[in-house]
Amino acid sequence: MAGLGWQGKSLLIINPKYGPRFRLVTILTDMPLIPDHSIQNRCGNCAECVKACPASAIRNSSTDSHYSTRDCAIDLKRCNEKLSEFKVRRNIGVGICGVCIKVCPYGKR
C-alpha cells in the first residue's frame, strides 16, 4: 500500500493520521514515482471495530501486514445481510453502515 496505511481488522486501509476516513482515487501518469515504505499494522489489541460491528462480522484477527484472504478477517456474508437489513429498515435505499469507520481511534479529532 506504499505507505498509505495498513489493512485493518475491518479490511479498510487505516492511515496513521486520518484512520479509515479517506478515499482512494486513481491518477494516470507516466511520471516516474518512488513508492514509500509499507506501514506495519498498528491495530494490535484494539477491538473497537469488532465490538461496535452491528453484524458481529469482524473476526478480531490480527496480522502484521495483510490477511491471506478476506475470510480471515471478516464474515462478508454476515456483513452483507446486515446491510440489506439496514437498507429496508432505514428506508435509505442503499446498503451502508460505517460503524467501523466511526469507532476507529485512528484519525479521531
The pLDDT assigned to 33 comes to: 86
The pLDDT assigned to 87 comes to: 73
Q: How far is CA 98 from CA 41, 51, 55, in A?
A: 21, 14, 12
The pLDDT assigned to 42 comes to: 92
The model's pTM is 0.81
Domain ranges, ordered by start, for the chain:
1-109
Q: Residue range 43-48: average pLDDT?
A: 93
The pLDDT assigned to 104 comes to: 95
